[in-house]
Structure 1
């Protein structure tokens, strides 16, 4: 049975990471044997680690599963004074792995988490052994209108009902078929229930910077690549995944019956494909 977002939160730990000289608390979920090969799951905007609640635990029998909340997201520190951009998320992710004494690992990423993962794989190719990209931002594929809109200052002063409706549009209406109420409630939680959530959401959205993916030297990535891509996604379209495969090498698997939230829409298939691809 999938954990609720409250149960997931209760199971999380945290570590202090450095973001441009600022000490920032980064929450993460961990499961599986401590001596197994680490698999790090990285989420996007406006989600948090709970995006992977139906996928990551399925691998915990064979792998050391690490699921961070990017800084400014989920249960990580969400106040002012530090960067939330993809460049900063790469830095924070590197800091978390250092705190956990993890040298080499596999990466599984979605949305802007994919931008951070691709940067890390390009800058430290000796550490990333296998890389799974699912409807990630890359090249000039982003930002999208919805994220740009919630990055406006008015989001911080928005009423609960208005923000709730916007998040329903993203997570309930954005699901393929009928959305799981637990998933929708979980995705809303950091922005509606945590203190400072609305401002944190605006800060996360406004930090999107296309330069941080256009400047990646994709040819430096040596990790084995698998693209698990929802072909019906209108935000991060499948052609960008094909371009990743062309530039890096690897395999593309197109998933039907899924929109942008593919780890939720096709959780069982997603976990099965990971199990078949990732090497212990």
Structure 2
């Protein structure tokens, strides 16, 4: 993997379990029922005492100061500094610094992802279908935003039942051919783990949230670990990628923090 585009790919990996662009399928997360094969053998969770409302975070703007780690068969980056800014449903901005210098800046919108490689003086611009083809999983802005904020990757729809799974409550959804398992804590009703499986390729993505802390009226996960197992080609072995994000500070605000981003004329598109 070219180290120049590592930062772009790492952030793209965060959203790889969406199924937005496959042919002949329902819109992700909107199915009112799941096929029997998805829920066979599961014990239903009894909601007769009231609706089980999954706790999610609402905000206008979110800012975070974080540490970012990336590990694959070819790259190993530990505890890089990253600043994040999110405008709900609109923009995700990030800046990566190493040894006191900004090495990358990115802007993620519902239409595309653009990353400046400030060390090599060039930039990368990708659409979601392009990245989806490269990673063998589809990618969407909505999913990426949900994963960064600890919200469900797909909203729960009427008719989607809950099940018991050990100490957690399981919401199982089908997004096209992909099965998405979301594990919610029974007492705090917070999303703790997501596992997405593509039965065709056997590619998997798992996301574990930890270090929950009070953030205003919400519980917010200050750490997340993503493990992605994918096959570059059907006849090749699985390749594992790990991404860890640990926040030292997170703020929710109604004030626009600014999203400074421009591509210098001297930068070359890669």
Greater relative contact order, per chain length (Cα 8 Å cut-off, separation 6+) = 2
Greater share of strand? 2
Q: TM-score normalised to the size of structure 1?
A: 0.25
Q: TM-score normalised to the size of structure 2?
A: 0.26
